[in-house]
């Protein structure tokens, strides 16, 4: 079975490709994915959130992807998966494959004479590839992307338009970097002397592993002395800042607008919610979950869910709470004084 690219595929073939059981007519043809509400003939929809369960009865999809628990809720042909959302992702990739540019170098691209570009790679208009840089097999370098000297871009990488890789950056195989991302810029290293700032040279590198995805306008600074490392399988959303000398462990996912200060080590298989702020020089254990908007100022040595966000309140209520919190220290001191007095009386 080949990718669809608009050509219908039988539900039975999709079941085989995804390795999940089929219930119902496997000959039904599917040519696209859709939501339960937006689906019609030829579309396959999925249910992973229980709050949408009642929509199974009204969807016009030709087939659905459901969990074993939800399978009895519809007579439609279906793929039955323990993780319907992951199965949907596989189906969507089959039905809607990404288009690949034709191999070759656009006439307006600027390629250094000593750069090595695989014949199967695609270098689009106005891209720049610096000296001694290696572009791997089937890699795609988008229009206006700039790759500095001594870089390495692995096989099957996709660098979308206007990505910037600073010199000596390495990007592993099958990694995707979205537009506006900057990898390997100077870290924020400054030494204060006599009320002035001295720039500390940033002489490390940025090393990005295989199967990583880096979102639009995300920035990853190179190391000050050692390297900044993004391990295999890491997924970074848009507008994230990763400071110098950080390490992000394999298969960790970080949502948008997160800031990670320098020299912090984030473990493997962590999940970090949007707009979380992580201070520098911390250690975060494998498998840690950091909730959205949480400020993390101390190392986390035991995995778990960490939350530091105060729930939103009507402004007038928030003012009362804030006023009480300002008095909290004095209240604690008074309680301790009362406890000491009671202890002395006893």
- 69-to-44, 45, 84, 334 alpha-carbon distances in Å: 18, 16, 11, 56
Among 88-102, 103-117, 223-237, the least confident range? 88-102
**Could you tell me if residue 23 is left (phi over 0), alpha (psi between -120 and 50 degrees) or otherwise beta?**
beta
Q: Does residue 175 surpass a pLDDT of 90?
A: yes
- Contact yes or no for 263/244 (Cβ under 8 A): yes
Among 6-10, 39-43, 197-201, the least confident range? 6-10
Q: Does residue 1 surpass a pLDDT of 60?
A: no
Helix spans in the chain (H): 11-18, 84-95, 315-326, 328-345
Using one digit for the tens of pLDDT, what is the confidence trace for 192-239? 999 999 999 999 999 999 999 999 999 999 999 999 999 999 999 999
| Catalytic residue flag (residue 244) | yes
| Average pLDDT for the chain | 95
Instruction: Find the catalytic residue in 106, 244, 281, 320.
Output: 244
The pTM score is 0.90
- Contact yes or no for 57/75 (Cβ under 8 A): no
Residue with tokens 């990005």: 208
Q: Angle 296-298-301 (CA atoms, 0-180°, nearest 5)?
A: 105
pLDDT of residue 2: 43
Residue 221: name the closest of 262, 252, 257, 259 by CA: 262
Q: Angle 107-112-115 (CA atoms, 0-180°, nearest 5)?
A: 110
Question: In the 8-state DSSP scheme, what is residue 167?
Answer: T
- Contact yes or no for 116/152 (Cβ under 8 A): no
Average pLDDT score over residue span 66-75: 96
Report the alpha-carbon distance of residue 260 to residue 243 in Å, rounded: 6
Residue 94: name the closest of 8, 222, 170 by CA: 8
Q: Does residue 127 surpass a pLDDT of 90?
A: yes
Strand order in the sheet with 134-135: 116-117, 134-135, 152-153, 170-171, 206-208, 228-230, 247-248, 265-266, 283-284
Average pLDDT score over residue span 111-115: 98
Coil, helix or strand for 162? coil
Average pLDDT score over residue span 172-186: 98
Among 81-85, 149-153, 234-238, 340-344, the least confident range? 340-344
Would you state the structure tokens that stand for residue 259, as one six-digit string?
């800031």
Residue 185: name the closest of 162, 200, 205 by CA: 205
């Amino acid at each position: 079975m080949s990718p669809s690219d608009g050509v219908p595929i039988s539900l039975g073939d999709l079941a085989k490709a995804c390795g999940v059981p089929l219930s119902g007519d496997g000959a039904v043809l599917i040519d696209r994915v859709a939501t339960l509400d937006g689906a019609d003939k030829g579309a396959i929809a999925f249910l992973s959130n229980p709050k949408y369960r009642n929509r199974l009865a009204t969807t016009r999809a030709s087939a659905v992807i459901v969990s074993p628990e939800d399978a009895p809720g519809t007579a439609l042909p279906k793929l039955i998966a323990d993780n319907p959302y992951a199965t949907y992702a596989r189906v969507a990739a089959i039905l809607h494959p990404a288009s690949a540019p034709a191999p070759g170098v656009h006439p307006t691209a600027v390629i250094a004479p000593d750069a090595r570009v695989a014949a199967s790679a695609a270098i689009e208009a106005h891209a720049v590839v610096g000296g001694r840089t290696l572009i791997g097999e089937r890699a795609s370098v988008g229009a206006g992307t700039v790759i500095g000297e001594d870089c390495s871009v692995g096989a099957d990488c996709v660098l979308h338009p206007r990505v910037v890789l600073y010199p000596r950056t390495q990007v592993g195989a099958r990694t995707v970097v979205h537009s506006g991302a900057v990898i390997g810029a100077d870290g924020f290293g400054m030494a204060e002397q006599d009320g002035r700032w001295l720039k500390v040279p940033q002489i490390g590198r940025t090393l990005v592993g295989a199967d990583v995805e880096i979102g639009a306008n995300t920035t990853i600074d190179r190391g000050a002395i050692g390297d900044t490392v993004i391990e295999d399988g890491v997924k970074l959303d848009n507008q994230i800042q990763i400071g110098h000398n950080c390490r992000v462990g394999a298969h960790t996912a970080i949502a948008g607008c997160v800031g990670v200060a320098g020299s912090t080590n984030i473990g493997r298989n962590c999940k970090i919610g949007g707009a979380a702020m992580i201070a520098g020089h911390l250690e975060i254990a494998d498998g840690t979950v950091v909730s959205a908007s949480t400020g993390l100022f101390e190392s986390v040595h035991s995995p778990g869910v960490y939350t530091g966000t105060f729930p939103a309140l009507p402004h007038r209520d928030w003012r009362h709470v804030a006023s009480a919190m300002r008095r909290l220290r004095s209240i604690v001191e008074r309680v301790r004084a009362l406890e000491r007095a009671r202890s002395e009386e006893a």
